[in-house]
């Protein structure tokens, strides 16, 4: 994969273009790496140069791995002292495991900054057909431990660290929160503890992605990873495998036009069967703008304001 990265708006555009390909080329089409790269190239939109988040005190490009990859960095935005709540939201962006960048979530971050929460945007190395989700999880674990260990010098409250993620980032965020509570989770932070987990249209049952019949093997090797046929391995990286370990409060949102809505419904059903408390928001709308991770990519929609307002209320309550 080319090392070019795209903002999460491009992923939404890709989600719109994929069904069009199915209509034009027929239901027998296999989604291949070249096809997906073409979709991403057509849909590619860089994050806006300016954001409301930019008006806040910030420290950008902090490396969380000494001598690490340029992608192993994070940005910290500090809420204004007039309404600062002494709590932090750590955001892990999505992007189909192969795309996206932290800058694409700055507008989303501004919602929480305005409510008095510090925000951290985490970057991580993307899948490329050699690296896989285990590397992304390892990066997230390193970032969270860095924040926990250096919280005092960074001016963050270690005891009130919430973690959030959208789409593939929801997978990474939930798995990190599970690992923070369970030493049997293979890739986990060892110093970080989650005050709460907030998920927007997350990927959840990761082990099933290697079975997808509409994806070619080369595509699965790219976005799932080269071990996409190794079911036990994929299960070891799947949040569904360890959902019983989650101790942190959980917020989950999806919507009618979320193309992976079933993932949220499975997560909700699993929590219900385990007797785990969950704040669940399922937005009913036929508006094409109210789709996958709409509350991240288009914060001004009424439905997005509803979701993000509920997330703020969830954090205030915990």
* CATH code where residue 286 lies: 3.40.50.1820
Angle of CA points 280, 99, 230, to nearest 5°:
80
- pLDDT band at residue 47 using 50, 70 and 90 as cut-offs: low
Burial class, 287, CB count within 10 angstroms (exposed 0-12 / middle 13-18 / buried 19+): middle
Give the mean model confidence (pLDDT) for residues 266-288.
Answer: 97
Give the mean model confidence (pLDDT) for residues 184-212.
Answer: 97
* Residue of higher predicted confidence among 203 and 5: 203
- pLDDT band at residue 2 using 50, 70 and 90 as cut-offs: very low
Count of C-beta atoms within a 10 Å radius of residue 247 = 14
Query: Does 3 reside within a domain?
Result: no
Contact yes or no for 97/128 (Cβ under 8 A): no
- pLDDT band at residue 16 using 50, 70 and 90 as cut-offs: very low
Query: Does 105 reside within a domain?
Result: yes
User: What is the 3-state composition of the chain as percent helix, strand, coil, each rounded to the nearest 5?
Assistant: 45, 15, 40
The alpha helices in the chain, defined as continuous H runs, are: 8-25, 33-43, 106-114, 133-149, 151-154, 168-181, 217-223, 231-236, 261-274, 294-297, 302-317
Give the mean model confidence (pLDDT) for residues 19-41.
Answer: 55
- pLDDT band at residue 4 using 50, 70 and 90 as cut-offs: very low
Query: Does 1 reside within a domain?
Result: no
Residue from 230, 72, 222 nearest 137 by CA: 72
The number of residues in the chain equals: 318
* Residue of higher predicted confidence among 224 and 19: 224
Query: Does 167 reside within a domain?
Result: yes
Nearest-angstrom CA–CA distance, 196 and 201: 16
- Say how many domains are in the chain: 1
Query: Does 2 reside within a domain?
Result: no
Q: Which of 10-14, 97-101, 305-309 has the highest mean pLDDT?
A: 305-309
User: Buried b / exposed e across 217-240, counting CB within 10 Å, b at 16+?
Assistant: eebbbbbbbebbeeeebbbbbbbb
Neighbour order of strands in the sheet with 161-166: 57-63, 73-78, 118-122, 88-92, 161-166, 196-200, 250-255, 278-283
Domain that holds residue 204: 8-44+51-317
């Amino acid at each position: 994969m080319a090392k070019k990265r795209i903002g999460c708006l491009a992923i939404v555009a890709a989600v719109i273009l994929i069904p069009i390909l199915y209509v034009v080329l027929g239901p027998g089409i296999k989604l291949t790496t070249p096809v997906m790269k073409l979709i991403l190239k057509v849909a590619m939109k860089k994050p806006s140069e300016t954001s409301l988040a930019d008006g806040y005190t910030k420290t950008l490009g902090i490396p969380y791995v000494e001598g690490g990859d340029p992608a192993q960095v994070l940005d910290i935005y500090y809420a204004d002292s007039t309404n600062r709540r002494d709590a932090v939201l750590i955001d892990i962006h999505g992007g189909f495991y192969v795309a996206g960048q932290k800058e694409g979530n700055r507008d989303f971050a501004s919602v929480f900054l305005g409510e008095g929460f510090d925000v951290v945007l985490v970057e991580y190395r993307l899948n490329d057909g050699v690296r896989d989700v285990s590397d992304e999880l390892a990066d997230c674990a390193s970032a969270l431990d860095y924040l926990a260990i250096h919280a005092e010098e960074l001016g963050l409250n270690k005891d009130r660290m919430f973690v959030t993620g959208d789409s593939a980032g929801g997978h990474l965020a939930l798995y990190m929160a599970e690992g923070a509570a369970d030493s049997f989770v293979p890739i986990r932070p060892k110093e970080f503890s989650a005050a709460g987990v907030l998920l927007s249209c997350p990927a959840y049952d990761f082990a099933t992605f290697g079975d997808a019949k509409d994806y070619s093997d080369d595509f699965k090797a790219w976005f799932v990873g080269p071990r996409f046929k190794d079911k036990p391995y994929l299960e070891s990286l799947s949040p569904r495998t360890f959902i019983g370990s989650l101790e942190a409060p959980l917020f989950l949102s999806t919507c009618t036009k979320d193309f992976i809505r079933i993932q949220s419904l499975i997560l909700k059903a699993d929590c219900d069967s385990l007797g785990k408390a969950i704040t669940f928001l399922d937005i009913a709308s036929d508006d094409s703008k109210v789709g996958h991770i709409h509350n991240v990519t288009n914060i001004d929609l009424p439905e997005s304001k509803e979701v993000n307002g509920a997330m703020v209320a969830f954090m205030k309550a915990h």
